[in-house]
Structure 1
Amino acid sequence: MSAGRSAATRGFTLVELLVVLAIIATLMSIAAPRYFEHLDRSREASLRQTLVVVRDAIDKYHADIGAWPPDLDALVTKRYLRKLPFDPITERSDSWQYVAPPGGDGTGVWDLHSGAEGTAKDGTRYADW
């Protein structure tokens, strides 16, 4: 048998394990809030980009057809969009709020907004984007 610790005394002491767990907990308390903030910012960026793409598709539909689309399904049917857009804040594709064209008979989709409640990191409401 060699000098030093015997086979029965090998391993970590309780104090060593507690120190390691305290270090891990400290690092997690720093990293977790940043991670969740990053997720929120990426959802907001995704919503902004989705709104840009769908609004562009609405404008192209109107330029080609001469009328505003009756709903977002018409954009998918006519292949202006591949599929119904997904709202990353509500995590649904049926929560969009349609805006009717101004000065017309009130039919069609002229614009759309997110149906999400709450405000973004910059203080603006999602529904106002």
Structure 2
Amino acid sequence: MQRRFGFTLIELLVVMAIVSALLGIVAPRYMHKVAVAREAALKENLSALRIGLDQYYSDRGTYPEALGDLVARRYLRAVPLDPVTERRDTWVPAIREEEGGRKVVHDVRSGAAGNATDGTPFAAW
């Protein structure tokens, strides 16, 4: 009599049920950690942009007309990535008019839609 090697359908179903139960427990925690990491990166990138704006103002006595001026004058190597939108062009500059009608960027916010894990809108950061 020949003996067959392999798994029965019941054994495979039990293993798949155990694996899916474990994934059901781990996946939400993983996704939450990914969201928290994106928010931390967003805060860090906003901080780098604001420090660059402050240094530009400190050196030149005026704010830049665009965020690209920070890169052109080497206050930043590149405009940082918004980790929530995964783009560099979604930053929302806060523009104010100086004497003489010149419009300058004095602050920057995220252009990401939605709210952070603590409920505050990304645009409020």
Q: Which runs of no fewer than 5 residues in structure 1 stay unpaired?
A: 1-5
Identity rate of aligned residues, in percent?
Answer: 44
Q: Greater relative contact order: 1 or 2 (C-alpha under 8 angstroms, separation 6 or more)?
A: 2
Q: 1:114 is matched by which residue type in structure 2?
A: S
The 2-side partners of 1:106 and 1:113 are apart by 21
Equivalent residue number for residue 71 of structure 2? 76
Structure-2-length-normalised TM-score: 0.92
Equivalent residue number for residue 115 of structure 2? 119
Residue 109 of structure 1 aligns to a residue whose secondary structure is strand
Q: Which runs of no fewer than 5 residues in structure 2 stay unpaired?
A: none
Regions of 4+ moved over 4 Å:
102-106
Kept in 1, the 8 Å contact 2:97–2:104? The answer is no
RMSD of aligned alpha carbons: 1.6
The 2-side partners of 1:84 and 1:127 are apart by 18
Return the structure number with greater strand share: 2
Q: 1:119 is matched by which residue type in structure 2?
A: N
Count of aligned pairs between the two proteins: 124
- 2:80 pairs with one of 85, 93, 108: 85
Equivalent residue number for residue 3 of structure 1? none
The 1-side partners of 2:60 and 2:98 are apart by 19
- Displacement of 1:35 in angstroms is 1.1
